[in-house]
């Protein structure tokens, strides 16, 4: 048996989509209601690479058959994010090990730490066998869409003195400073277990660049901000892929510590879910997905009150790259 690892040229669209298909199918084995990056979003993402990020795309063949794929991205000074998947019928033959070795070789001079994610015991065993340790575990929770009529109306409204503003797309200019600041606080505060935390500065340029890239890749950004006395104190964001709106992603939700415990998080989520229905493509959405650390009891409870159920658990592991 001969394992051959080759680089994927992202400009070779046929190859790029086959590579994406191997990753998608590999990660989906044995799971339900799985979100994966659409072909269209994959094409657009690699057509216009991120300006400061290095990426590695690898394909593994066994005796000429394409059976495995790896994807790695790294921002300078941060841990490399690595995904590895092998077709079910070709597992336990050393394919993932060969792919990861090639990722290590490619990124040795760019990063010192790598991080990977998995939903399976096999993935955890594999990553451990490669010297990684569990950093954090997150519940992946899903609720069916559309929500039953009246679900949102039955939940408590925004607490008094709290104003919630919702929109779709780029952040309005007058909220931009607050939005950038809250996002930076979110990355300081989100439970990360033993994973390396890298500071995210409140960077307006980065917010605008991210909005542009997401919109180019076909995402509708559905957003809400909560204000108290005119001051932004929390935000939430939903991502809907216009080419494939089946699974909608509930991304960050953050409320500043000093105002927690008053229902602002719930009010944000409810307002944002209402706003989601104004995106025409959301009529084709069947599920809403969110991730919450298993240690984040308040958010798990909030999600359950909206109807979310756990479908599986994500484990993120980290270890030395060299």
Ligand X SMILES: CC(C)(COP(=O)(O)OP(=O)(O)OC[C@H]1O[C@@H](n2cnc3c(N)ncnc32)[C@H](O)[C@@H]1OP(=O)(O)O)[C@@H](O)C(=O)NCCC(=O)NCCS
164: tokens are 């919630």
Task: Return the range that interacts with ligand X (CB under 6 A); candidates 9-17, 116-124, 141-149, 268-276.
Answer: 116-124
Question: Total binding residues for ligand X by CB under 6 A?
Answer: 23
Q: Which of residues 56-115 bind ligand X (CB under 6 A)?
A: 84-86, 91-97
HSE (side-chain half, CA atoms, 13 Å) at 210: 12
- Angstrom distances, CA of residue 235 to CA of 79, 260, 267: 26, 12, 10
Nearer to ligand X, 85 or 182 (CB): 85
Residue 46 in contact with ligand X, rule: CB under 6 A: no
- Minimum Å distance from CB 23 to ligand X? 8
DSSP state string for 275-294: HHTTSGGGGG--EEEEEEET
Token representation of residue 272: 């944002």
Residue in 129, 278, 283, 295 binding ligand X, rule: CB under 6 A: 129
Question: Least distance to ligand X from the beta carbon of 68, Å?
Answer: 6
* 107, 56 Cβ separation under 8 angstroms: yes
Print the binding letters for residues 4-43 with ligand X: x by CB under 6 A, - otherwise: ----------------------xx-x--------------
Least distance in angstroms from the C-beta of 76 to ligand X: 23
Do the beta carbons of residue 92 and residue 122 sit within 8 Å? no
What stretches of 29-84 show up as alpha helix (H) in DSSP? 39-47
- Cβ-in-10-Å burial (0-12, 13-18, 19+) of 108 comes to exposed
Residue number, nearest CB to ligand X: 123
Residue 125 beta carbon to ligand X: minimum distance, rounded to whole angstroms: 3
Q: Would you call 102 helix, strand, or coil by DSSP?
A: helix
Which residues are near ligand X by CB under 6 A?
Answer: 26-27, 29, 84-86, 91-97, 116, 118-120, 122-123, 125-127, 129
């Amino acid at each position: 048996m001969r394992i051959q690892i080759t680089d994927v040229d992202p400009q070779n669209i046929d190859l790029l989509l086959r590579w994406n298909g191997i990753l998608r199918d590999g990660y989906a084995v044995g799971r339900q209601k799985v979100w994966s990056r659409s072909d269209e979003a994959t094409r657009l993402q690699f057509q216009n690479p991120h300006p400061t990020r290095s990426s590695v795309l690898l394909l593994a063949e066994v005796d000429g058959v394409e059976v495995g794929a790896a994807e790695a991205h790294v921002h300078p000074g941060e841990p490399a994010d690595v995904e590895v998947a092998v077709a079910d019928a070709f597992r336990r033959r050393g394919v993932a090990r060969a792919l990861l070795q090639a990722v290590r070789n490619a990124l040795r001079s760019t990063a010192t730490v790598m991080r990977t994610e998995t939903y399976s015991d096999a993935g955890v065993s594999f990553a451990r066998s490669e010297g990684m340790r569990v950093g954090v575990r997150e519940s992946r929770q899903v609720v069916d869409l559309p929500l039953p009529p009246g679900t949102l109306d039955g939940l408590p409204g925004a607490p008094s003195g709290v104003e919630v503003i919702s929109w779709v797309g780029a952040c309005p200019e007058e909220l931009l400073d607050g939005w950038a600041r809250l996002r930076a606080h979110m990355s300081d505060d989100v439970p990360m277990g033993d994973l390396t935390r890298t500071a995210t500065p409140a960077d307006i340029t980065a917010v605008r660049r991210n909005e542009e890239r997401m919109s180019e890749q076909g995402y509708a950004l559905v957003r809400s901000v909560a204000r108290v006395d005119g001051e932004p104190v929390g935000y939430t964001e939903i991502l809907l892929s216009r080419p494939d709106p089946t699974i909608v992603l509930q991304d960050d939700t953050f409320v500043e510590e000093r105002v927690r415990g008053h229902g602002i998080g719930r009010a944000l989520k409810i307002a944002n879910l209402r706003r989601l229905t104004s995106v025409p493509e959301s009529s084709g959405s069947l599920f809403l997905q969110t991730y919450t650390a298993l240690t984040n009891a308040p958010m798990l409870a909030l999600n359950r009150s909206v109807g979310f159920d756990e479908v599986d658990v994500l484990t993120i592991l980290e270890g030395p790259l060299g």
